[in-house]
Amino acid sequence: MIDIRLIRENPDKVKENIKKKFQDEKFVLVDEVKKLDEEYRGLRTKADELRAQRNTISKEIGALMSQGKKDEAEKIKEEVKKIGEEIEKMEQEEPRYEEEIRKRMLVIPNIIDDSVPIGKDDSENVEIEQFGQKRTFDFEIPYHVDIMESFDGIDLDSARKTSGNGFYYLTGDIARLHSAILAYARDFMVNKGFTYCVPPFMIRSEVVTGVMSFKEMENMMYKIEGEDLYLIGTSEHSMIGRFIDTINEESKLPMTLTSYSPCFRKEVGAHGIEERGVYRIHQFEKQEMIVICKPEESMDWYNKMWSYSVELFLSLNIPVRTLECCSGDLADLKVKSCDVEAWSPRQEKYFEVCSCSNLGDAQARRLKIRVKGENGNYLPHTLNNTVVAPPRMLIAFLENNYNADGSVDIPEVLQPYLGGQKKIVRK
Taking only the tens place, the pLDDT of each residue in 117-155 is: 999 999 999 999 999 999 999 999 999 999 999 999 999
Domain count, the chain: 2
User: Are 147 and 261 in the same domain?
Assistant: yes
Beta bridge partners of 258: 196, 289
CA distance 202 to 188: 26
User: Are 166 and 101 in the same domain?
Assistant: no
User: What is the structure's pLDDT at 61?
Assistant: 67
Q: Could you give the count of Cα atoms lying within 13 Å of 321 in the half-sphere of its Cβ?
A: 15
Taking only the tens place, the pLDDT of each residue in 342-378 is: 999 999 999 999 999 999 999 999 999 999 999 999 9
- The answer to whether 11 and 38 are in contact (CB under 8 A) is no
Q: Sign of torsion, CA 112 117 122 125?
A: negative
Q: Which residues contact 343 (CB under 8 A, 6 or more apart)?
A: 132, 134, 318, 319, 320, 321, 349, 350, 396, 400
User: Are 77 and 186 in the same domain?
Assistant: no
CA distance 377 to 372: 4
User: Are 169 and 296 in the same domain?
Assistant: yes
Task: Give a yes or no: residue 249 inside a domain.
Answer: yes
User: Are 97 and 157 in the same domain?
Assistant: no
| CATH code, domain carrying 271 | 3.30.930.10
| CATH code, domain carrying 37 | 1.10.287.40
Length of the chain: 427
Largest CA distance in the chain: 109
Residue 80 banded pLDDT, cuts 50, 70, 90: confident
User: Are 323 and 393 in the same domain?
Assistant: yes
- End position of a domain, from candidates 105, 131, 160: 105
User: What is the structure's pLDDT at 72?
Assistant: 75
Q: Could you give the count of Cα atoms lying within 13 Å of 273 in the half-sphere of its Cβ?
A: 18
pTM: 0.89
Task: Give a yes or no: residue 112 inside a domain.
Answer: no
Range of the domain at 229: 122-424
